[in-house]
Amino acid sequence: MQCHEIDYTILGDDMQIVEIELDRHETVIAEAGAMNYMEDGITFETKMGDGSSPSQKALGKLLSAGKRILSGESLFLTHFKNLHPDKKRVAFAAPYPGKIIPVDLDEIGGELLCQKDAFLCAALGTEIGIAFAKRLGAGFFGGEGFILQRLRGDGMVFVQAGGTVVRKEIRGQTLRVDTGCIVAFTPGIDYDIQFVGGLKSMFFGGEGVFLATLRGTGIVLLQSLPFSRLADRILAHAPSAGGRRKGEGFTFGGRSI
């Protein structure tokens, strides 16, 4: 199925929104709960599966959607369709501070592998599946686990990342990256995990015990602030059961004393 051709605008800086313009009968699919606002004339329906194969039978749709559960995502996707004669807009927001990255699958060979919570929305016709890490080391210690999301098609997809996003093009070189900082990469990239050299570096370097090693030819998208790292910092400074917050005095009535 050929993907719908959609126009879009990225709004904002650190808390971005992607506003998608739909012609009549055009559809965009999105993760449940990602919609921010939509104009009159757009209808939405929660469906099992991505709709990339309209002729697929119910059992096939169930098996296809069931794969998303393995990656920790919802069984359902929401389909937003414009039924109005005029162009209408629907907008989607990332759930945490960072960037929304537009990717034209047709320009990168029709496929993108991304971490399991990176997908935000895409043009109808995009196939959203899963891919397994090729190596045991990457599966156990890679931060993304065994399962990655695979996006296939010839249209626009939008992925979300924390902090600042860096796009790297690798042509035969090797790139070593903190495991949580990988957002997405093209299939020409070989993804593996290596131990950090030296006991002192492993325990006192602050960079973790493992680093991801990326080799081959293709495109890599990196993020400066993985959500897991942001959540750890928030939890470290959250009020404890005893009424204390790290680095501060007692709290009473919402005020520090």
pTM: 0.79
Confidence of residue 184 (pLDDT cuts 50, 70, 90): very high
Instruction: Tell me what pLDDT residue 139 has.
Output: 46
> Which amino acid is residue 67, in one-letter code?
K
Rounded CA-CA distance 180/46 in Å is 31
Tokens of 90: 């629907």
Mean pLDDT of 89-114: 93
Position 135 pLDDT exceeds 90: no
- C-alpha distances out from residue 46 to 26, 55, 78, 130, 175, Å: 16, 18, 4, 20, 40
Which domains are present in the chain? 7-233 (3.60.160.10)
Q: What is the pLDDT of residues 188-246, one digit of tens each?
A: 998 887 766 655 555 555 555 677 889 999 999 999 988 777 777 788 877 765 555 55
| Model confidence pLDDT, tens digit, residues 43-82 | 999 987 787 766 655 555 555 555 555 555 567 899 999 9
The more confident residue out of 92 and 133 is: 92
Q: Rounded CA gap, 246 and 235, in Å?
A: 10
Percent over 90 (pLDDT), the chain? 46
Asked if residue 131 lies in contact with residue 149, where contact means CB atoms within 8 angstroms, the answer is: yes
- Looking at residue 72, what is its pLDDT? 57
Return mean pLDDT, the chain. 80
